[in-house]
Chains A and B, each alone.
Chain A
Amino acid sequence: MSNVTGKTHPQLAAIFNQDEPRVDWHDETLWWVRQKRDIQAHKLPEWELLRETASQIKNNVLSNLSTYLEQFEANAINNGVIVHWAADAEEHNKIVHQLLQERGINRMVKSKSMLTEECHLNEYLKEQGIDVIDSDLGERIVQLANEPPSHIVLPCIHKKKEEIGDIFHEHLGSAKGESDPKILTETARQHLREVFLTRRAALTGVNFAIAETGEFVICTNEGNADMGAHLAEIHIASMGIEKIIPERKHLGVFLRLLTRSATGQPITTYSSHFKRPQQGTAIHIIIVDNGRSIQLGREDFRNSLKCIRCGACMNTCPVYRKSGGHSYHTAVAGPIGSILAPNLDMKKYADLPFASTLCGSCSNVCPVKIDIHNQLYKWRQVIVKEGYSPTAKTIAMKAMAFTLSSPGLYRSGGKMGRIVFKYAPFAVNNGLNPWYKHREMPKTPEESFGEWYSKRKEAKQ
């Protein structure tokens, strides 16, 4: 999703916060998922070992990425799969379009893929006259609402069932005012069934690609990836280069971590392996870089490529929970998205690494142990150095650094500050002070600790 509004995270978050009951509801919903994750994690005494193992496997992958990718490609080709490489989003989208064009297909069913969100595939295909229907229920809802997903695992977590009822009434002909989840689900099921039966092409994402066997694994709770892929004559799978794992035996580690971290389930309902095409059908894999190799080359940020897209960092992030996924104005929201997005466009996403209190909860829930909050801190340094920080902030910071580097200036400045606070509170307690908008300023003491200490010292002597 592009930032069509041109607004920054603080601005979009402030808009989201105008409706406080809605913020509470959003926060509670995601916290509930975080709690489910905690319950599942605490059921496994070996949880921290699993995280460490996954992290080490991914370290190996990132250090030998080209080797594993070539091994995967060779094995996939052996299995009868056709492999394509795409340097960026544009190339990826063109390959998809070409594959459809070759077969004269103008309608496609898609299962969830954050990579295609990142590549803006749907918009691109729409411009080419291709009709794309997302088959993941949450994705379908936001697609009908003409919105991007607000969460990578729970794409329409920001919508209430009544709103979904209105969308289904408008687009799928359900009864006006109907908000019973069972009835709405059945409406979507009937609609999607027709889609699965009639679409000749299906596109899916890839959760894990196994170098050793050339197979790939897709995890869904709705079975929609399977439904699309099994019934279509061509299955296109889009995968980022970082989705590789070396051997099949490693899969167990990741499958145990993924859904526990994502939704608090022990395992996904469907973890489907795709290895070779059925007779009369074709499987195409598009292996996409789109900035990933640049990130791999950034020493401080390469670990972000370990991400298995579980969304746990979003559910636990107090800022995400209280600002909503759309405030991040990027395909992958939340803490991990705030590390990935500046790699793609530092200027456009310069605000995102600052959308955090650096509380560190994200790093703790991450199933592959990405040091997310440390990377956010490091991005801030890079963004400032590259000149993407507001000038006023730079001036303020320079003045602050100058004052705090001198004990004399600091002491007189502190004293001055306290006098202003005491005798001219209007100078700080006004609408231009963003602290004062919601909070009282600290009360000012008669003397600083330093002053008190000097007096005590004198009295003692």
Chain B
Amino acid sequence: MKVALFVPCYVDQFYPKAAIATLELLEKLGVDVHYPKNQTCCGQPMANSGYEHLTKGCNSLFIDNFSGYDYIVCPSGSCTLHIKEHLHSAEKEEQATDIRKRVYELTEFLVDVLNVKDLKARFPYKVGLHQSCHGLRGLKISQMSELVAPAFSKPAQLLDMVQGLELVPLTRQDDCCGFGGTFCVAEEAVSSKMGKDRVDDHIEHGAQYITSADLSCLMHMEGILRRQKSDVKVIHVAEILNHSHE
């Protein structure tokens, strides 16, 4: 199985630890992981701002970097969803279609493809799981609270395998954190209020860490937590799942 690691731009630049954890975790699980070094960004910031027509360069680059792999795995639900829904190319549509089918968010890859049943990980803390909207409602890695259907959560299923970890319940289990890409600056007032309220829900339930399959949400909540000088930290789910067995 030949797997390409897709590290979103902001993870590459600001949160390399999450990408390192993703790589190490996949390697531990016996996966042959390649990192195509010329990757940049999936193009979502432009597309969600209404400039999808400016993403041709990113799309073309993405196709060049990620064609020919069995799977493409990414530690971000949002970027994965963007590729799944919007990667197109006039010249290389066949390759684009192939990539759209092969791209996976990390937790869904672990659960659906690798069928992970146990992990050698330990993380003895109270953790709040932020179900990112794009992972949740876009990729359906968890059941959505609005729908009448049986509950499941791929990230929670994996976190349950981690020794010592206690998942805290939340009052609003899947409310949006308000990041929303350029929304976070274009609508800074509402965005930050949404983030504050989301963080408060975790804090009120005693979370020491907030985790998610999406670093963009965590980046937003981290900014708010640090402004509040809170002790609560954010951590990407890959870092927990890769947390050493001491």
B155 nearest CB across to chain A (Å): 17
Other-chain contact of A322, B136, B145, B193 (Cβ < 8 Å): B193
Binary per-residue interface labels of chain A (35-59) against chain B in the complex, 1 for a CB within 8 Å, 0 otherwise: 0001001101101100000000000
Binary per-residue interface labels of chain B (211-233) against chain A in the complex, 1 for a CB within 8 Å, 0 otherwise: 00000000110111011000000
A181 nearest CB across to chain B (Å): 26
- Decide: A356 and B49 in contact? CB cutoff 8 A: no
Which B residues are in CB contact (< 8 Å) with A356?
A: 180, 183
With CB as the reference atom, state the residue of chain B lying closest to A384. Answer: B50
Contact A404/B40 with A361-B133, A449-B16 known, Cβ cut-off 8 Å:
yes
Which A residues are in CB contact (< 8 Å) with B111?
A: none
- Decide: B55 and A13 in contact? CB cutoff 8 A: no
Question: Could you tell me which residues of chain B, from 40 to 84, have a CB within 8 Å of some CB in chain A?
Answer: 40-41, 43, 45-55, 57-58, 60-61
B128 within 8 A of A: no
With CB as the reference atom, state the residue of chain A lying closest to B86. Answer: A377
Which A residues are in CB contact (< 8 Å) with B45?
A: 400
Which A residues are in CB contact (< 8 Å) with B60?
A: 405
- Decide: A438 and B13 in contact? CB cutoff 8 A: no
- Decide: B46 and A418 in contact? CB cutoff 8 A: no
With CB as the reference atom, state the residue of chain A lying closest to B14. Answer: A442
Interface with A: B31-39, B93-101, B114-122, which one? B31-39
- Decide: B189 and A13 in contact? CB cutoff 8 A: yes
Distance, CA A35 to CA B181, complexed state (A): 27
Other-chain contact of B188, A20, A405, A434 (Cβ < 8 Å): A434
A187 nearest CB across to chain B (Å): 35
Which B residues are in CB contact (< 8 Å) with A414?
A: 9, 12-13
Which B residues are in CB contact (< 8 Å) with A127?
A: none
B190 within 8 A of A: yes
With CB as the reference atom, state the residue of chain B lying closest to A374. Answer: B85
Distance, CA A161 to CA B144, complexed state (A): 34
B81 nearest CB across to chain A (Å): 10
- Decide: A316 and B192 in contact? CB cutoff 8 A: no
- Decide: B50 and A445 in contact? CB cutoff 8 A: no
Which A residues are in CB contact (< 8 Å) with B11?
A: 449
A291 within 8 A of B: no
B123 within 8 A of A: no
- Decide: A449 and B197 in contact? CB cutoff 8 A: no
B27 nearest CB across to chain A (Å): 11
Binary per-residue interface labels of chain B (184-202) against chain A in the complex, 1 for a CB within 8 Å, 0 otherwise: 1111111111111100000
Interface with B: A60-68, A209-217, A296-304, A450-458, which one? A450-458
Contact A17/B193 with A357-B176, A444-B14 known, Cβ cut-off 8 Å:
yes
Binary per-residue interface labels of chain A (375-411) against chain B in the complex, 1 for a CB within 8 Å, 0 otherwise: 0010011011100010001100110111011110010
- Decide: A407 and B187 in contact? CB cutoff 8 A: no
- Decide: B12 and A449 in contact? CB cutoff 8 A: yes
Distance, CA A405 to CA B37, complexed state (A): 14
Distance, CA A319 to CA B177, complexed state (A): 10
Question: Could you tell me which residues of chain B, from 135 to 187, have a CB within 8 Å of some CB in chain A?
Answer: 136-138, 144-149, 172, 174-176, 178-181, 183-187
Distance, CA A24 to CA B194, complexed state (A): 10
Contact A364/B222 with A397-B49, A437-B192 known, Cβ cut-off 8 Å:
no
Other-chain contact of B227, A17, A365, A438 (Cβ < 8 Å): A438
Binary per-residue interface labels of chain A (150-184) against chain B in the complex, 1 for a CB within 8 Å, 0 otherwise: 00000000000000000000000000000000000
- Decide: B61 and A365 in contact? CB cutoff 8 A: no
B17 within 8 A of A: yes
Distance, CA A440 to CA B219, complexed state (A): 10
Distance, CA A434 to CA B178, complexed state (A): 14
B7 within 8 A of A: yes
- Decide: A400 and B188 in contact? CB cutoff 8 A: no
Can you list 12 A-B contacts with CB-CB less than 8 angstroms, sorted by A residue number? A10-B189, A38-B146, A41-B146, A322-B197, A323-B187, A361-B174, A381-B52, A405-B58, A406-B40, A407-B38, A438-B195, A453-B23
Interface residues of B (CB under 8 A from A): 7, 9, 11-17, 19-20, 23, 35, 37-41, 43, 45-55, 57-58, 60-61, 133-134, 136-138, 144-149, 172, 174-176, 178-181, 183-197, 219-220, 222-224, 226-227
Given A360-B134, A400-B46, 4 new contacts (CB under 8 A):
A359-B137, A418-B13, A438-B188, A440-B222
